[in-house]
Structure 1
Amino acid sequence: MAAQAHPSDRESLNSSKAASLDAPTMVSGTDDKAVDGVPPSTPSAASNAPCGPGGPQAPAVSSPVELPLSRRVLLVAITMFVIVLGAGGQQGLNIALPSMQKDLGIAQNDLQWIASAYGLASGCLVPLSGRIADVFGRKLCFMIGIGWYAVFNLVGSFLDNRIAVIVTRALAGMGASMGAPSAFGLIAANIHGKNRATAFAIFSAGAPLGAGTGMVLGGVFTAYTEPGWRAVLWFFAGLGFLAAVLAFFFVPKDQPNPNADKRIDIPGAFLVTAGLVLFQFSISYGSSAPKGWKTPYIAALFPVSVLLLAAFVFWEYHVQHHTNRPPLIRLALFTRAKGRLAAMYLVGFIAMAGFVSIGFNATLFYQQVQGASAMTAALQFLPCIVSGLIATLSLSKLIHIIPGQAIICTGFLCTGISATFFAVSKRDTLYWTFPFNAAWLMVIGVDFLMATGAVFVSRLAAQGEQSVAGALFQTLMQLGGALGLALTSVIATTEREKALGKGFEYIDALAKGISASFWLCAALNFTACIIALFILRGMGIVGGHGKGGKPGGPGGPGGAGTPGPGKAPTAESASEKTEKQENARKEQV
């Protein structure tokens, strides 16, 4: 479909995008070839190819040097802090939920708000934060986000009011929303070729590492220290301050682009943020509101949120095609690689809806149904840590030789089986049978999804939209997690009340409700697997490297390596023309 002409340069570019590829090539698994007809996300590759048949060549200048190994290791380690802090803080407080419930007087139905408040804020603000990071500097936004997270963890640790604690969890989530897309963009902008795929795989190891650290510390602090759950917040606040300081000294500076359009789509930011806030609030609070989903303000806010999100889509289309302003999120992201990028977003949303609730309900199962102490429950989660680290570190090699679709589907199957094992576990089930196997299988799905998805997204995103593209992926996973928590909470409450009405003991009734939640988690993961089998076909090997280049690979800025036979050396131009050419080619599929 041809884009409408416009006097501005921006609309002239949109017109050039109309002459897109008619027959995109399939994934080759190498960085010197396109992913579904989309060239690699690099100015180097972009500048070496014409805009179209017979189109002008970009000016050839020398490529920047790839970061040395020591700098790459430091960059991945420091940015990984944002994943460690998010997963660790959440899991540490999950282990301490019964203790927090007693100390703060939180009702059973409201316990989910300790987790949901954090996810609500971090998920809703990520799209805007991604755009801010791309425009004003990823390093600066990373440091601000991590520092903000640390401050409100510290503040929350000194509060005794349940509402105030929940508010600080939301404020900490705001910090995470700034740090996460910035970390994604920093890796994509500074590490290239095959090294980038390896970096994202290792970066994703922050999730099991953080979750494991949080579980163990949550159990130790709750069982053996006077502050209990408050010490968890102190620990992760200190870790956050440390990460901000390390980033200041060791993360590479952003390369400024004087020609970049730094305007931010404020109306679009308002529509998407307000829509996401109301959407997540409605689904998170619907189960614990006075009259449940029939509560008047829940019934009103949910359709309003849907209308706001729909208005955001129409507004972004208007901005992109009828103005010369940059949109907050390019709608073309959803059509990249013949729709497979949108498919990745969809399966991530569904799978996270089925994953987040497993850990939440497993904590309640261990402590409230089986009567385990906080420390025992933490130890029972240790298989998650070990298998998660093994999965992510193995993936740093497997992602270069196994198709992404196979990796993702295998992970979803593992998590679905985990939820099934938890669902059939009873009050007196021996840990070393179903619960143990459920624990080590649980995290494989999300670890495989995060790493593979991150590499796939970064390869299909243009250089100036890396943080936004990563932010969109994270937002949809956050939304999925919030929706999953809400749905499982509704099911658990309904089944528990039914069992109590039939005369069951409270613990047995609680077990029935939790079991029903696990069955839903299993169904969601198996559904994500089936969908991925059909709509991610042809995804190919997402972590390959150039045939003629070094592992840095042709196709990464600064990581071009030695060109293969018959290939011209890649080059990079920092001019606005080159960036426009690259963005145009990215939107051709």
Structure 2
Amino acid sequence: MAVAMTTFLQGAITIMSSFAAKDLGMSTAEVSWMNSGTSLTSGALLLFFGSIADLFGRKSMFIGSMFMFAVVSLGAGFSKTGDTIPKQTFNKQALKKLDLPGTLLTMAGVGMFCAALSLGGDAPQGWKTPYVLVLLIIGILLIAAFVVWEIKYEHAMIDMKIWLDKDFSLLFVIISFGFLGFPVFNFWIALYFQVELHMNAILTGVHMLPMVVCGLTANFTAAAVQHRVSNKLLTGTGAAALVISFTVAAVQRTGDSYWAFSFPALCLCVIGVDFQFIVANMYVLSSMPLNKQSIAGSLLQTVTRLATSVGYGVATAIFDAVKKSPATSGYYANNAIQPYAAVFWFAAASAVPGLLLVPFLKVGTQGHAGDTGRVRRRASDRSEGEESAVESSHVGSADDGGEKGTGVRQNVSTGV
């Protein structure tokens, strides 16, 4: 149910984006903000609420989240303008173990950075507009301050030592590059169907349906083979699928066959992102101790949400720039898809670095008993347990005889 909340929200926004823009008088930047806004707030607050889940229980967090989702969704239906803002509330209760300064630095830094990217194209003087430059510079400085704070603060949301794991860091970088382009492609191709091909909401949903079918197939396939096939291969397949998908979508022109371009692009993009996400998700959950499982899951979601927010900001700037000054010659001359194709090329370019990093991965098989390449837990998290277990095996061997001691040693070896 929790997974379906995100999918339902993104799907609803994608289908009704052009109609909301028309009825509420929203600009292109404001329409893209409907998607990037949810990703931004999720990325900024997931680690914070992951800490709350660890401290106060996951059941309470789940019930409260479902209730708030229902209330906010209902309230959004009564919006009369594109900038309707609910009344702000402030929680005065401060808990020592909650990284409130880190949360504020994340929200402010990423928010200003993404706002600058989104506003740059529509600003009076473009990227030279003072408030755009101020937002961009301050945003970068606050993000850097957040990293320093997390390294120094005793109760930091993120244990920065986990980034020393090479495969862990590589997977996060790869999936970040994938999510720079995937949500952007998903949003703008739906907008292209609605605005340029004049499809209604139902037809748009039908044309986007291949993503659902291929997504389900990709999830079942990856879950079935990830304990048998190298997860490096799955990650590489996903990265290649994303590059091919975005490239195929970018080379199409208005009037070209849906089945020749949009259909394979929609199928490949969801296969690519699902393969990468499943591998990264298993790696993250396997590398963190039990008392940090909520933070581990939040960390993966945070990275994807922040990448999505940045991707929307850059894509919006590209779309607006090309739309204002379209090319009059060349492959896309006088073709309505020109600004959309520019966004698709950005998505393809974003996915390429992820593909180039795959050869450096060393992730084997994951999941199920007996896997050969399971993510290694940090030595500091389990060294004490292993040492005490080995000592117990020797004591058992001395006191109770060879047979009992051997049994203990066998249990220790299979447990590790």
1:455 Cα offset (Å): 0.6
Amino acid at match of 2:184: S
| Alignment partner of 1:453 out of 280, 287, 293 | 280
Q: Which moved more, 1:274-283 or 1:112-121?
A: 274-283
Unpaired runs of 5+ residues, structure 2, are: 89-94, 373-405
Aligned to 2:47: 127
1:271 shift after superposition: 2.5
Query: Of 74, 82, 104, which residue of structure 2 is paired with 1:270?
Result: 104
1:397-412 alignment, distance < 5 Å: 397-412=224-239
Please report how far the alpha carbon of residue 294 of structure 1 lies from its aligned counterpart in structure 2 after TM superposition.
2.6
Q: How does 1:89-488 map to 2 (within 5 A)?
A: 89-164=9-84, 167=85, 263-319=97-153, 325-336=154-165, 339-488=166-315
CA–CA separation in structure 1 for the residues paired with 2:35 and 2:359? 31
> Could you say which residue in structure 2 is the equivalent of 1:241?
none
Instruction: Return the alpha-carbon distance in structure 2 between the equivalents of residues 84 and 348 of structure 1.
Output: 21
Q: Does 1:85 align with 2:5?
A: yes
Q: What secondary structure is seen at the aligned counterpart in 2 of 1:303?
A: helix
| Change over 3 Å in CA distance of 1:308–1:154 after alignment to 2 | same
Q: C-alpha deviations, 1:429-450, integer Å up to 9, x for none?
A: 1222112111211211111122
Pick one of 399, 410, 413 that aligns with 1:567.
410
CA distance in 1 between counterparts of 2:106 and 2:204 reads 39
1:517 aligns with 2:360: no
Amino acid at match of 2:193: Y
Counterpart for residue 238 of structure 1: none
Would you say the 8 A contact 2:227–2:366 is kept in 1? yes
Q: Distance in 1 between matches of 2:203 and 2:408?
A: 60
Please tell me the residue identity of whatever aligns with 2:142: L
Letter in 2 for 1:131: S
2-structure distance, mates of 1:507, 1:291: 27
What SS does structure 1 have at the residue aligned with 2:363?
coil
* TM-superposed deviation, 1:459: 0.7
In structure 2, distance between residues paired with 1:147 and 1:291 = 44
Deviations 1:13-35 (A, max 9, x none): xxxxxxxxxxxxxxxxxxxxxxx
Q: Distance in 2 between matches of 1:547 and 1:303?
A: 46
Match of 2:379 in 1: none
Q: Distance in 1 between matches of 2:206 and 2:279?
A: 29
> Could you tell me whether the CA contact under 8 Å between 2:194 and 2:200 is conserved in 1?
yes
Query: 1:216 matched to which residue of 2?
Result: none
Amino acid paired to 1:307: L
Does the aligned pair in 1 maintain the 2:254–2:336 contact within 8 Å? Answer: no
Bigger shift: residues 508-517 or 354-363 = 508-517
Q: What displacement does 1:161 show? A: 1.3
CA contact (8 A) 1:271 1:308 kept: yes
Deviation at 1:367, TM superposition (A): 1.9
> Which residue of structure 2 lines up, in the alignment, with residue 30 of structure 1?
none
* Stretch of structure 1 that moved more, 388-397 or 276-285: 276-285
Q: Name structure 1 gaps, 5 residues minimum.
A: 1-80, 172-260, 320-324, 549-562, 573-584
**Counterpart residue type for residue 278 of structure 2:** A
TM-score (norm 1): 0.59
Contact preservation (8 Å) 1:120, 1:281: no
1:292 positional shift? 3.5
Q: 1:546 to 1:293 in 2, by over 3 A?
A: same
Question: What letter matches 1:414 in structure 2?
Answer: A
Supply the distance in 1 between the matched residues of 2:225 and 2:177 (Cα, whole angstroms).
24
Q: Do 2:185 and 2:246's aligned partners in 1 also have CA atoms closer than 8 Å?
A: yes
Pair 1:97–1:265, CA change in 2 (3 A):
closer
Aligned equivalents of 2:159, 2:230: Cα separation in 1: 27
CA distance in 2, matches of 1:279, 1:512: 26
Task: Indicate which of 491, 496, 499 corresponds to 2:326.
Answer: 499
SS in 2 for 1:96: helix
On the 8 A contact 1:387/1:444 being kept in 2, the answer is yes
* Contact 1:496/1:509 (<8 A) preserved: no
Amino acid at match of 1:372: M
Of 359, 366, 383, 1:542 maps to 366
- Matching residue of 1:242: none
Cα distance in 2 for partners of 1:440, 1:404 equals 21
**Aligned-pair CA distance for 1:379:** 0.8
Whole-angstrom CA distance in 2 between matches of 1:346 and 1:486: 19
Cα deviation, residue 542, structure 1 = 2.1
Greater relative contact order (Cα < 8 A, sep 6+): 1
Q: Using the alignment, how far apart are the partners of 1:519 and 1:154 within structure 2?
A: 37
Shift of 1:477: 0.9
Q: In the superposition, relative to structure 1, how do residues 433 and 265 fare at CA in structure 2: closer, same or farther (>3 Å)? A: closer
Deviations 1:407-427 (A, max 9, x none): 111012112211111112111
d(CA) in 1 for partners of 2:70 and 2:133? 35
CA contact (8 A) 2:29 2:118 kept: no
Report the Cα offset of residue 566 of structure 1: 5.0
Letter in 2 for 1:530: L
Identity %: 29
Separation in structure 1 between the aligned mates of residue 174 and residue 261 of structure 2, nearest angstrom: 26
Q: Which amino acid aligns with 1:355?
A: F
| Alpha-carbon offset, residue 264 of structure 1 | 2.2
Shift of 1:305: 2.0
Q: Which amino acid aligns with 1:567?
A: Q
SS of the equivalent of 1:327 reads coil
RMSD between superposed Cα atoms in Å:
2.9
Contact 1:116–1:284 (8 Å) recurs in 2: no
Q: Summarize the Cα distance change of 1:129–1:286 in structure 2 as closer, same or farther, 3 Å threshold.
A: farther
Distance 2:407 2:220 in 1: 29
429-438 or 268-277, which deviates more: 268-277
